Structure 1
Amino acid sequence: MKFGPVPIDEAEGAVLAHATAAGEKRFRKAHRLSREDVAALKAAGVVEVVAAVLAEDDLGEDAAATKIAAGMSHRNIEVKPAATGRVNLHAGASGVFTVNAGMIDAINAVDPAITVATLAQHAPVEKGQMVATVKIIPFAVAANLVDSVVRICVGREIFAVNAYRPITVGIIQTVLPGVKPSVLDKTLRVTEARLARSGGRLTAERRTPHEIAPVAAAATQLARDNDMVVIFGASAMSDFADVMPAAIERAGGTVIRAGMPVDPGNLLVLGTLDGKRVVGAPGCARSPKENGFDWVLDRLIAGLDVTAGDIAGMGVGGLLMEIPTRPQPREPAPHPARSALKVDIVLLAAGRSSRMG
């Protein structure tokens, strides 16, 4: 492809780089000039146009984007028609987006003319949401480059939307003196709202003392009748032998991971019992605001496995927004005496400055 000024006598078949007028007739950017178009431009006194002239082995931007998108293997993805060198791909279901980052990087390394952009790995998506886009930068690209990209896509899934499943969940809430029933009731409402987008539902709740044995007994019962068990502790996990991980093991289950590098969400516990997942929720999961619990819950509802290694790899990007209702925010409030001392120092400095002036 050649790009630049083109004499009007040689412009038939060229693709306009800018909107161009021929009297009252206007040609939009990226319009491919016909013989009649060239005659109209010449009649209007146009002697040259800035345009792209395609070589025989070039593919136009729309054709190239369409061929690349057609060569991709994916699940629960809807491919939109090409326009202005772009093909957008949208979620065919609500769920969790997964992507083969190595394939995306390989495609984007073929040539700067060809680009693919996607959402982040494990991003939650709603049906109809755009999840990826194929964009050809110039007006055309060599066909052999497009073929190279298509070969990268052969035989492997490049991305997918893992659809949410309507699972059933049993809830355990432990109780200590001073825990208000209103807090427990709110926790149920927040959890039901989290499950609503997937069609999941809470089937049962057990409120027990904050002790290993009753929690283990409740978990055993709920695991028999539900796809998942979630435990909200009256006190956050403070040790790997604390009530929630110990109760999972007492019930005959296995603790996959206790603690996660996502904040808020550090104190999550993940286990398995009778083939069902058991999640010890961190205290921040009582809030509807995004936290580490959402990251694990969404993946499990979407049918994705979550391993100890998966959780260990959540640290980059795992520092989320602060939740005002946290019992112990990251940044402690300044000590009153220290605050007063700061004020005194500032005033003293101001006074000294005014005297020096």
Structure 2
Amino acid sequence: MYEIYKVFIKNYRVYTSEGMIHENDGAIFLKNLTAGKNLEFSEIKEGKIDFIASIDGLLKIDVNTLFELNCIDDIMMATLHNNFEVKKGLKVAGTRVIPLLVEESKLNEAKKIVGDKKIVEIVPFKPKKVGIVTTGNEIYHKRIVDKFGPVIEEKVSKYGCEVIGQVICPDDKDVIKDSILSFINQGAELICCTGGMSVDPDDVTPTAIKETNAKLVTYGSPILPGAMFLLAYYNNVPIMGIPGCAMYHKTTVFDVILSRILIDEKITKKDIAAYGHGGLCMNCEICTYPACNFTKI
């Protein structure tokens, strides 16, 4: 082996005259190449480095570049799923050189593939001012008690969001529309509309949202629970039409999309459509979301 690779020691690192790199140096190279913001790192052990979240936030993985990187022999990287909601201190990825010595040419190939992109990073949540518009004649006339408001407030509050108000509207599209626009004029950065999201004749919330002149992204999602979800943008203010399942299920489409909204990601129709693969909740007796298969893309 020594005759083939002509190994010599320099500053406690192993190099060779045949263009070979020691596993530990290779792992450092891959870490520096792929790691984005808000990460900490384990010590190197046998050519392996772990990536650890240094903040609470949303894990973003460049899935296509990760795939290309893993097509190179003798190096690897494994991560949690893209858009995984993480807490500070959670291990989110690991990379290593597989043999003791790796060809320098393979690391150069990795550099060409990754370029200036970063495969792994954590994006912090940005708390928003939230307006809740709850619709329905039965709630408006106090024949039933509103259960939507407390659920929405609890979910957004865990991200540090401020609910600046809740308005309860009858099934009148003009009143609903005006309530949405009023919250936006008050500085709301996210509008959550609850009630009236089905296809019954008196369910006019989707129409009211459209008539604000907001740009509709989708009315409907391939996520269960959450098929009758609506997303639109009034300029840069997201408007979410939240279906009734949010009252009864611990985790729904609202939880999935909310975390991305709170990193200021502009969600597209294709983003929503991609959730079809994995968008079926198993309704486990004990919910472990996000540490489960639901909506992992």
2:168 aligns with 207
Q: Is the 8 A contact 1:248 1:273 kept in 2?
A: no
> Which residue of the other structure, out of 125, 144, 158, is the alignment partner of 1:180?
144
Instruction: Give the superposition deviation at 1:311.
Output: 1.0
Does residue 158 of structure 1 match 2:119?
yes
Quote the Cα distance in structure 1 between the aligned partners of 2:98 and 2:154.
Answer: 42
1:350 aligns with none
Q: Deviations over 1:177-220 (max 9, x none)?
A: 37632xx2x43333233223421121100011123122111111
> What's the secondary structure of 1:105's corresponding residue?
helix
Does residue 289 of structure 1 match 2:250?
yes
Structure 1 residues 114-123 or 239-248, which shifts more? 239-248
2:56 aligns with 94
Higher-Rg structure is 1
Q: Is the 8 A contact 1:72 1:150 kept in 2?
A: no
1:252-271 paired onto structure 2 within 5 Å: 252-271=213-232
Instruction: Give the superposition deviation at 1:257.
Output: 0.8
> For residues 103 and 288 of structure 1, do their structure 2 counterparts lie closer, same or farther at Cα, with a shift above 3 Å needed?
same
1:83 aligns with 45
Quote the Cα distance in structure 2 between the aligned partners of 1:110 and 1:229.
Answer: 45
Instruction: Give the superposition deviation at 1:312.
Output: 1.6
> For residues 275 and 141 of structure 1, do their structure 2 counterparts lie closer, same or farther at Cα, with a shift above 3 Å needed?
closer
Quote the Cα distance in structure 2 between the aligned partners of 1:150 and 1:114.
Answer: 12
Q: Is the 8 A contact 1:162 1:303 kept in 2?
A: no
Q: How many residues align?
A: 273
> What's the secondary structure of 1:157's corresponding residue?
coil
Instruction: Give the superposition deviation at 1:175.
Output: 2.8
> For residues 116 and 274 of structure 1, do their structure 2 counterparts lie closer, same or farther at Cα, with a shift above 3 Å needed?
closer
Quote the Cα distance in structure 2 between the aligned partners of 1:283 and 1:161.
Answer: 31
Does residue 319 of structure 1 match 2:283?
no
> What's the secondary structure of 1:310's corresponding residue?
helix
Quote the Cα distance in structure 2 between the aligned partners of 1:288 and 1:163.
Answer: 26
Q: Deviations over 1:150-182 (max 9, x none)?
A: 33222223232221001110101113337632x
Q: Is the 8 A contact 2:53 2:86 kept in 1?
A: yes
Which letter does structure 2 place at the counterpart of 1:180? I
Quote the Cα distance in structure 1 between the aligned partners of 2:282 and 2:184.
Answer: 33
2:295 aligns with none
1:120-269 paired onto structure 2 within 5 Å: 120-177=81-138, 180-181=144-145, 184=146, 186-225=147-186, 226-233=188-195, 235-238=196-199, 242-269=203-230
> For residues 169 and 81 of structure 1, do their structure 2 counterparts lie closer, same or farther at Cα, with a shift above 3 Å needed?
same
Which letter does structure 1 place at the counterpart of 2:144? K
TM-score under structure 1 length normalisation: 0.69
Q: Is the 8 A contact 1:257 1:270 kept in 2?
A: yes
Q: Is the 8 A contact 1:190 1:287 kept in 2?
A: no
Instruction: Give the superposition deviation at 1:107.
Output: 1.2
Unaligned runs of 5+ in 1: 3-11, 14-31, 33-52, 325-357
> Which residue of the other structure, out of 277, 288, 292, is the alignment partner of 2:238?
277
> What's the secondary structure of 1:177's corresponding residue?
helix
RMSD: 2.8
Instruction: Give the superposition deviation at 1:242.
Output: 4.5
Which letter does structure 1 place at the counterpart of 2:238? R
1:342 aligns with none
Which letter does structure 1 place at the counterpart of 2:149? L
Which letter does structure 1 place at the counterpart of 2:27? A
- Structure of greater relative contact order (alpha carbons < 8 Å, 6+ residues apart): 2
TM-score under structure 2 length normalisation: 0.82
Instruction: Give the superposition deviation at 1:147.
Output: 2.7
> For residues 146 and 227 of structure 1, do their structure 2 counterparts lie closer, same or farther at Cα, with a shift above 3 Å needed?
same
> What's the secondary structure of 2:226's corresponding residue?
coil
- % same residue: 24
